[in-house]
Structure 1
């Protein structure tokens, strides 16, 4: 199970690690683990090139094709979720098969691990729940949770859009990462 939780909360168990394209194997991380952050120079360079702040056209390669469908609760967020899903090649939206994605209006309490959880992927894509109101970058939250269909957490400290490993970082950082502060993913 993969969860996204606010830093002040307790963290649940992480997703099992799987290799990311060209980055080798990754390991699940804990709160105490030091990750690899993006440098100020890398962030400035990415900000100067808006295309660096999004996946490549067609998305990053994945080990297998997958599909998802949105439950009615996600209709207000369909565009943001589709943009997050587009980070992964071979992840397609359908009308009634594969991974159901639901959106909630509050923190997710049935994911395990306690704390204020804003996203959960059960069983590597059996179902996904998102609290889109819990983060400022809803596309990145969706991309991260879909990424847990294949991958565990990377060694990056803060999630972003420069690579699959960056998307799969264990934290969303920045001034408006989460409504209540930085968002941790574990």
Structure 2
């Protein structure tokens, strides 16, 4: 009998995982599927030059974002870029590298300086509790990794601003390059703040 109890419990967990926020997971995945060429075309059309692009804590936290990963080798990008970590990010190097791995051709060693902050970013422009900022499409990136649950997703999102603006997805996640570039993370670490704005 214990095996039946485990089976029922396992089925209940699967059923709970299949419906997220009242929407069957398969419907959400099907609606977000695009070919790489179509996704690149859409993202290129959405790309807009910006002086500084910040992300607030309310917009970045994505519920369940750790369930998916970028494809092996990362999503295609229009050009190769590189970054280097300032001393403030050395303790978080592996997390930031995992976020960078979401994009093909993004390598460490020169290029964009990435700094880590211990509090919300106040010099990015705009208001709110900003947890990430990319100035001038890769001139400089700042991250407040302590403000989010999925630190890899925050890093991937900010690196993505080297090429792309925000997508039309509501909540950021790992389902596609467009989903990574959503303007918000939904639910998660901050408890009372269900939406974390990403800039």
What is the aligned partner in structure 2 of residue 73 from structure 1? Answer: 88
Match of 1:155 in 2: 168
Paired residue for 1:21, among 40, 48, 65?
A: 40
* Preserved contact between residue 171 and residue 186 of structure 2 (Cα < 8 Å): yes
Partner of 2:78: 63
> How far apart are 1:185 and its partner, in Å?
1.6
Q: Count matched residues.
A: 146
After superposition, where does 1:49-128 map in structure 2 within 5 Å?
50=67, 53-94=68-109, 97-128=110-141
The aligned counterpart of 1:144 is 157
8 Å Cα contact 1:27-1:155 kept in structure 2 = no
CA distance in 2, matches of 1:60, 1:175: 25
TM-score when scaled to structure 1?
Answer: 0.72
Q: Is the CA contact 1:21–1:61 (under 8 Å) kept in the aligned structure 2?
A: yes
Unaligned 5+ runs, structure 1: 1-18, 29-37
The structure with the greater share of residues assigned to helix is 2
Q: Which residue of 1 aligns with 2:30?
A: none
Runs of 4+ in structure 1 off by over 4 angstroms are none
- Tell me the alpha carbon deviations over residues 21-43 of structure 1, each in whole angstroms, 9 at most, x when there is no partner: 15453377xxxxxxxxx9xxxx7
Structure 2: tracts of 5 or more residues without a match:
1-37, 49-61
1:174 deviates by 2.3
The 1-side partners of 2:39 and 2:86 are apart by: 29
Whether the 8 Å CA contact 1:20–1:151 is kept in 2: the answer is: no
Distance 1:121 1:179 in 2: 26
1:166 alignment partner in structure 2 = 179
**For residues 85 and 180 of structure 1, what CA distance do their matches in structure 2 show?**
29
TM-score normalised by structure 2 residue count: 0.67
Counterparts of 2:162 and 2:41, CA distance in 1: 18
